[in-house]
């Protein structure tokens, strides 16, 4: 059995075609695995990003709670400050009343003192007291 050249060429072409077909199938298989690996990597990356987003959202909520508490504390402090301001104004009014009363009482005292000097026989016209008996005149 002798083969002619064209048969050998067709066998060689067939073997080359078979090798090429096997190479294409292998390339497609590895390409699919590579693509699946990339897709899985992206899924994993997306899951990590979602986890991070959830952590950031929780941190934002915690900050909002802190901000609300700080806002409430600030409003409370402002209310206390307003209350203290009203108390300070009330005390200042009371202080002015006491000063006014003290000034009025001093004026009344001065009026009584002038009245006493006016009726006192021992007070001279200039407001000086006359010397008592036995006291030298000035």
pLDDT tens for 49-74 read: 999 999 999 999 999 999 999 999 99
Q: Locate all alpha helices (DSSP H) within 1-137, ordered by sequence.
A: 5-119
Q: Collapsing DSSP states into helix, strand and coil, what is residue 121?
A: coil
Assign 3-state DSSP to the chain and report helix, strand, coil percentages, each to 5: 85, 0, 15
Q: What is the pLDDT of residues 16-51, one digit of tens each?
A: 999 999 999 999 999 988 999 999 999 999 999 999
Q: What are the backbone dihedrals phi and psi of residue 86, each rounded to the nearest 5 degrees, phi first?
A: -60, -40
The phi, psi pair for 136, rounded to 5°, reads -70, 145
Whether the full predicted model's pTM is greater than 0.85, yes or no, is no
Rg over alpha carbons for the chain, rounded to the nearest Å, is 56
């Amino acid at each position: 059995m002798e083969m002619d050249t064209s048969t050998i060429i067709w066998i060689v072409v067939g073997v080359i075609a078979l090798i090429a077909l096997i190479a294409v199938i292998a390339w497609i298989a590895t390409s699919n695995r590579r693509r699946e690996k990339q897709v899985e990597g992206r899924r994993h990356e997306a899951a990590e990003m979602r986890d991070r987003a959830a952590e950031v959202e929780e941190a934002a909520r915690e900050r909002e709670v802190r901000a609300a508490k700080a806002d409430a504390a600030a409003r409370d402090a402002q209310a206390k400050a307003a209350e203290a301001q009203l108390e300070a104004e009330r005390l200042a009014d009371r202080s002015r009343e006491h000063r006014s009363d003290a000034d009025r009482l001093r004026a009344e005292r001065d009026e009584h003192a002038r009245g006493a000097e006016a009726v006192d026989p021992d007070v001279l016209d200039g407001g000086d007291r006359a010397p008592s008996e036995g006291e030298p005149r000035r």
